[in-house]
A and B are shown apart, each in its own frame.
Chain A
């Protein structure tokens, strides 16, 4: 028996997808023309699947600061913060992040995945109870595998269900740690954070919010859903990423909890991996300034999000429950989604194909992420291409159009 035979079902499913056209899991951008356009397979393609919410990947100032830091500090740190030392840039970013969120402490991670993996698995000890939203991102589920705490799930965004599940843990001892996300990455829906925070505090629990898709996007100052809903003082730990609105890579956690720095010598995904190179950190520090002063970008982003959401809904597609920069349409089967995705790419539009089990309720989704720097023309083009392909595939029915309008 071969070592990879255990993946035969996965292999068959992957072969099916590849046989339908291009391989959605190895799309190659041969040349980046801007943060919203690239050359794919020799064709100029509009990018609606990048999570580049504020379009900062080509921000001139951030690029220049990154180049300067690269020349001054070299290509990499060649080690971990704990074993091999920190650089001035790491500490500067942590100071500025803490200040941005109005918290006493911050620590950075090499990826957003590691930030959730590390913080959640380290906070939850043997006698504690980790209570996560059922639609949590894979990194939160992976954190559950790494912890010795008892893990239970509550129904997605259902704070009454959370209350019910917390009440079952009341007499069991240990700390309660509730985990939710600001914007959910697949459908773009937001957590009812005010209610989730209230329920968590009712039971004396700690609240962790992953603002990966909402930092820089929501809140007057870009601090995310907790700021938008006015509950920052009830969120004990905010986790996030530099790979979306900040246009780079890396993750972080901010908090006011006492003895926070103990996490640096307890959190394995922080301790046993190489730290971010200074060039990346310098670009994040610079882009964080753009996020701080990003009211104009956020307004443009939300207008763009509304335009795409309304356009696709009015064309007769099933979209998610909330307007946010993540706009996903639901299709009736994975086969249709794969064919649809290929047709869009052939037409010069790149979006994300999202299939079960990565999607909620086994849905087949085509997920778009909107950027502040998309032009109205690009958005209208995208809507027109979705509509054209949707009609060709019979994915839009007249009844749907009637009910949507």
Chain B
């Protein structure tokens, strides 16, 4: 699995939550640009936890704004995703 795969997984999950959104990229701001409610962000987090079999603490999410930053967080929590 490559580093950019994490971004791809996040973008795939975001398309499920923010239906109709186009052009989600690594630098897309998840909350501001996609206008994603906080509950949807938490759904996204749970989906990623299951995808990578990791635990993402809620307080770590507070600092995350973009798809790339979230991918970095996932990678930092699971070295397997970075291989």
- Which residues in A have some Cβ–Cβ distance to B below 8 Å? 129, 134, 144, 150-153, 155, 164-165, 168-169, 172, 356-357, 362
- Is B56 an interface residue when CB atoms closer than 8 A count as contact? yes
Is A152 within 8 A of B38, CB to CB?
A: no
Q: Which of A168, A357, A362 meets B54, CB within 8 Å?
A: A168
Q: Which 3 A-B pairs have the closest CB atoms?
A: A150-B57, A151-B58, A168-B55
Q: Which residues of B contact A362 (CB under 8 A)?
A: 39
Supposing A152-B58, A153-B58, A357-B37 touch, asked if A168 and B42 sit within 8 A by C-beta, the answer is no
Tell me the complex Cα distance, A134–B43, Å.
9
Supposing A144-B58, A168-B54, A168-B55 touch, asked if A153 and B37 sit within 8 A by C-beta, the answer is no
Q: Which of A134, A165, A357 meets B55, CB within 8 Å?
A: A165
- Is B31 an interface residue when CB atoms closer than 8 A count as contact? no
Count B interface residues, CB 8 Å.
Answer: 14
26 sampled A-B residue pairs with Cβ under 8 A: A150-B55, A150-B57, A150-B58, A150-B59, A151-B57, A151-B58, A151-B59, A152-B49, A152-B57, A152-B58, A153-B42, A153-B46, A153-B58, A155-B46, A164-B50, A165-B49, A168-B49, A168-B53, A168-B55, A169-B55, A172-B55, A356-B37, A357-B37, A357-B38, A357-B39, A362-B39
Of chain A, the residue at the smallest CB distance from B77 is A168
Of chain B, the residue at the smallest CB distance from A152 is B55
> Measured between C-beta atoms, what is the minimum distance from A365 to chain B in Å?
15
Q: Which residues of B contact A134 (CB under 8 A)?
A: 42, 46
Q: Which residues of B contact A169 (CB under 8 A)?
A: 55
Which of A155, A165, A168 has the most chain B CB within a 10 Å cutoff? A168
**By DSSP majority rule, is chain A's interface helix, strand, loop, or mixed?**
mixed
> Measured between C-beta atoms, what is the minimum distance from B81 to chain A in Å?
14
> Measured between C-beta atoms, what is the minimum distance from B13 to chain A in Å?
15
Of chain A, the residue at the smallest CB distance from B52 is A168
- Pair count A-B, CB < 8 A: 35
Tell me the complex Cα distance, A84–B20, Å.
58
Of chain A, the residue at the smallest CB distance from B78 is A168
Find residues 35-49 in chain B having any chain A CB closer than 8 Å to their own CB.
37-39, 42, 46, 49
Q: Which residues of B contact A151 (CB under 8 A)?
A: 57-59
Q: Which residues of A contact B54 (CB under 8 A)?
A: 168
> Measured between C-beta atoms, what is the minimum distance from A191 to chain B in Å?
18
Of chain B, the residue at the smallest CB distance from A132 is B58
Q: Which residues of A contact B53 (CB under 8 A)?
A: 168
Tell me the complex Cα distance, A153–B54, Å.
12
Tell me the complex Cα distance, A155–B58, Å.
15
Q: Which residues of A contact B50 (CB under 8 A)?
A: 164
Which of A129, A134, A151, A172 has the most chain B CB within a 10 Å cutoff? A151
> Measured between C-beta atoms, what is the minimum distance from B15 to chain A in Å?
17
Q: Which residues of B contact A168 (CB under 8 A)?
A: 49, 53-55
Tell me the complex Cα distance, A134–B47, Å.
13
List 19 extra interface pairs beyond A129-B55, A150-B59, A362-B39, CB under 8 A.
A134-B42, A134-B46, A150-B55, A150-B57, A150-B58, A151-B57, A151-B58, A152-B49, A152-B56, A152-B58, A153-B42, A153-B46, A155-B46, A165-B49, A168-B49, A168-B55, A172-B55, A356-B37, A357-B37
Of chain B, the residue at the smallest CB distance from A141 is B58
Of chain B, the residue at the smallest CB distance from A131 is B55
> Measured between C-beta atoms, what is the minimum distance from B37 to chain A in Å?
6
> Measured between C-beta atoms, what is the minimum distance from B83 to chain A in Å?
19
Tell me the complex Cα distance, A356–B36, Å.
13
Which of A153, A164, A169 has the most chain B CB within a 10 Å cutoff? A153
Tell me the complex Cα distance, A165–B58, Å.
13
Q: Which residues of B contact A150 (CB under 8 A)?
A: 55, 57-59
> Measured between C-beta atoms, what is the minimum distance from A247 to chain B in Å?
32
> Measured between C-beta atoms, what is the minimum distance from B41 to chain A in Å?
11
Of chain B, the residue at the smallest CB distance from A144 is B58
> Measured between C-beta atoms, what is the minimum distance from A349 to chain B in Å?
30
Q: Which residues of B contact A357 (CB under 8 A)?
A: 37-39
Tell me the complex Cα distance, A152–B37, Å.
18
